[in-house]
Each structure stands twice: as C-alpha cells, then as structure tokens.
Amino acid sequence: MAHRHIPVMLEEAVGFLNCSPGRVYADCTLGGGGHAGAILEKILPDGLLIGVDQDRDAIRNAGEVFARNTGNIRLFHGNFTQLPEFMSHLGIPSLDGILLDLGISSDQLKHSGRGFGFHADEPLDMRMNTDLTTRASDLIGRASEKELARIFFEFGEERRSRRIAKRIVAERNKKPIRTGRQLAQIVAGAVPAEARHGQRIHPATRVFMALRIAVNKELERLDCFINNVVAKDGGRILNPKGRLCVISFHSLEDRIVKRGMKALARECECPPDFPVCVCGHKKTMRILTKKTVRPTEREITSNPLARSAKLRVAEKL
Ligand SMILES: C[S@@+](CC[C@H](N)C(=O)[O-])C[C@H]1O[C@@H](n2cnc3c(N)ncnc32)[C@H](O)[C@@H]1O
C-alpha cells in the first residue's frame, strides 16, 4: 500500500508536545506515522513512543517505517481507549504527552479498499478496525429509515437527512446496496439538481462521514478517552506538565474535546449558587490554547484536507 497521508499541523502539534530526549509519549492515532516520526526524532536516543492505531494496516506500515527504531517505539493495535492497558503491559505508569489526530487518514480513504470514499467501487465497509462486527453496509441494509436519518443529521449535519434516508430504504428494497459508488449515486439522486448545482462538495460527503462516525463509534470513543481515561484518578496518566494535544476535524469532536478539557481545568462542578463546594472536584489540567489553533493558509493551500482541523492542548498541573 502506498502511504501518502500528509500530517496536519505537524509543527504546531509536535511543538506543543514539548518533546525532548528521554521523554515518553503516546501517539494514539498513528495513521501513516507522520507525527510519530517527528516525535521520535526529538526523543532519541533514550525516549519511548507508544504508537496506537485501530487499523491493522497502519500498525503494519509503522512496523516497516520504524523498523530501525524498535528500541524507541512500541506498537499496539487497538482503540485509544485501551491506552492504560498498553501502558501497564509495558510497565509505564505515566506519560509526558499524548497526541490524538482524529478522523481518517488519506491511506484509509484511498488505499484501504474498505469503501471510505464515494468514487471507488469498493464494498461499503468503513470499519477502521476490521474486528468490529458492524459494517456500513449492515447499517445501510438494516437500520430503520428513522435511524438512518438520525445518523445523517446528527453525525453529518445533513439537512436533507430524512429525504436521503427515505430514498435509501426505497432503493434497498429493490436491490441490496453493497458499494460506496452505489450509495453515492443514490444519495446524489435524492438531492435536488438545483441544490447540487454550485455545491463545493459531493452531495454524499456528509452521509459518508456520518456513516463512518457511526460504524466506528468515533464520538463515544473520544468522549470515553477524555472523560474516563485522561480524567481518571486525577489525571494520573500524564506526568506533571505532561500535555494532551488533540487535532479534530468535526465540530462534534471539537465540542467533546473543548468540554472535556474545560471540565479538567475547572476547580469545582457545583452549581454557582451553592455556598460551599460539595462535589470535591479538583482541577487537574490547565488549557494552553484559549482559542483553537488552526492551520495556516499556507498549509491549507498545500493540503486542503487540513482546512477543518482544530488543535486544542491542555497541560497537567
Ligand atoms: C488522521 S489519521 C492520523 C494520521 C497520523 N497522525 C499521521 O501523521 O499520519 C487518524 C488515524 O487514527 C486512527 N484512529 C481513529 N480513531 C481511533 C481510535 N479510537 N483508536 C485508535 N485509532 C484510531 C485511524 O485508524 C487513523 O489511522
């Protein structure tokens, strides 16, 4: 497989991680290994990077790319919510930094053969982790019209969600919908020609993104990572001054990150009219990015996939 993912906000993210020799990091979304390579360079000769990805192809690729660095990198196939398990397997109690670069890699989009893109005639799979049991074709084939509309509206912010869901159900009753191209054509057919005219993106873009998010339970996993894994036991997964950097591409992801970081940086969660604190909540992190960091115009021009990226960073106290 040709690996062509261009890492997004590489300098900014790696800068915020404050890497130096001997430190220990986790890149929880290895993808094509762009960020991981930059982190590794800065922590050599005696640092350690834990690399996690739920896509076996990404782990296999990283094994090849970092074959010379086996002393400084440990690779794990699995969800980033499993990070504490991977750390205890290595006997590592805490980290100096964690990177999440969310969403899909261009390798998955273009070369995985799993129907992430709507131009290819590939099976409509969309599982990043092929151990999952539900594929996109299962959702498209079995979910009720109402459920499909909910997925498209909630995860894709698709205004024509009900109309598209209705068309999908009508079409699947005639013939099973098996490929991305088939689905893209059905969705395009459900969108009125005048609405399609002048649109910058393919009419199926939001539906495909919504399906991918649903199949991989992306928002649930992110929420669990920030609010359970990072927040657990006063944030002990990070060393003092250890940093959590998250690059997101979707407004719902960014909302989870923003709210999660705010909760970690808040001293007390009692309602404002309580005379004394009864929640016992302690502030464990401080937010370093009061406003989200966005890619430069230059980066967006050279890599249009970066255009919706937002970086947020919090530091352990
Ligand atoms: C945008 S790419 C990361 C690109 C990478 N930073 C690079 O420089 O090449 C996102 C990667 O994260 C993985 N991923 C997404 N959600 C995940 C999760 N919950 N657990 C583990 N890996 C995940 C995807 O499989 C994909 O390979």
**Any atom of ligand 1 within 6 Å of the Cβ of 57:** no
The token duo for 209 is 């993104």
Q: How far is the CA of 80 from the centre of ligand 1 (A)?
A: 9
Find out whether the beta carbon of 229 lies less than 6 Å from any atom of ligand 1.
no
287/243 Cα distance (integer angstroms): 10
Tens-place pLDDT, residues 64-123:
999 999 999 999 999 999 999 999 999 999 999 999 999 999 999 988 999 998 877 899
- What is the pTM (predicted TM-score) of this model? 0.94
Name the nearest CA neighbour of 38 among 11, 59, 70, 62. Answer: 11
Give the per-residue pLDDT at 195: 65
User: 128, 220, 248: which to mutate for ligand 1, most atoms within 8 A of CB?
Assistant: 128
| Cα 46 to averaged position of ligand 1 atoms, centre (Å) | 25
Question: pLDDT value at position 174?
Answer: 96
Closest ligand 1 atom, CA of 79?
20
Question: Per 3-state DSSP, what percentage of the chain is helix, strand, and coil (rounded to 5)?
Answer: 45, 15, 40
pLDDT, residue 1, reads 45
pLDDT in tens, 243-301: 999 999 999 999 999 999 999 999 887 888 888 888 888 899 999 999 999 999 999 99
- Six token digits for residue 109: 């989009």
Q: Is the CB of 37 under 6 A from ligand 1?
A: no
Inform me whether the pLDDT recorded for 182 exceeds 60: yes
Answer yes or no: is the C-beta of 96 below 6 A from any ligand 1 atom.
no
The pLDDT tens digits for 6-39 are 999 999 999 999 999 999 999 999 999 999 999 9
| Distance of alpha carbon 246 from alpha carbon 250, whole angstroms | 12
With beta carbons less than 8 A apart as the criterion, state whether 253 and 222 touch: yes
- Is 258 close to ligand 1, i.e. is its CB under 6 Å away? no
Contact indicator for 129, 117 with CB cutoff of 8 Å: no
Beta carbons of 309 and 294 less than 8 angstroms apart: yes
Which atom of ligand 1 is closest in space to residue 58's alpha carbon? 27
- Sort 132 into a burial class: Cβ within 10 Å, 0-12 / 13-18 / 19+: middle
Q: Tell whether ligand 1 has an atom less than 6 A from the beta carbon of residue 180.
A: no
* Rounded CA separation 312/99 (Å): 10
Nearest CA to ligand 1 atom 14: 29
Mean pLDDT of the chain: 94
Q: For tokens 């001997």, name the residue.
A: 22
- Dihedral (Cα; 261, 264, 265, 267), 10-degree rounding: 150
SS3 state at 289: coil
Give the integer Cα–Cα distance in Å for 90 and 73.
11
